[in-house]
Amino acid sequence: MKYLYLTLGFLFLGLGAVGVFLPVLPTTPFLLLASFFLSKGSDRFHRWFCGTKLYREHLEGFINSRSMTLRAKLGILVLATSMLTIAFILMKNWIGRGCILLLISFMYYYFIFRIKTVKRSETIASIEE
């Protein structure tokens, strides 16, 4: 299992790194998954990941203060909503469609009311403290 966790951790780390340069691919969720899987796979790799610039710039602020920039929130919401919309369109079952609508509603509620929106300069300042 350890090797599976490490493989998934580095896969999501790679996707998160690509997401830094491609605006279509959200960075934060992939880096959260990378952090989770690396912590399960190896303490050494997790400590290394937590020391990287990628972690400090894109994830540390969220982990420390449960806050994200508006750009990060929108990137995640747009991608997740588009994927769920495709699933909604392809779904023939009305119960499944209802579940997708509930999931989309919860996702927007959570991102709007539970995760604080900050400016990029505020996340940098909170990291430096």
Quote the mean pLDDT of the chain.
Answer: 86
Please give the average per-residue pLDDT across 47-64, as a whole number. Answer: 86
pLDDT at 60: 82
pLDDT at 129: 52
Pairing label, strands 67-69, 116-118: parallel
Query: How many Cα atoms within 13 Å fall on the side-chain side of residue 8?
Result: 14
The answer to whether 89 and 39 are in contact (CB under 8 A) is: no
pLDDT tens, position by position, 104-122: 999 999 989 988 888 865 5
Residue 64 has pLDDT above 90, yes or no: no
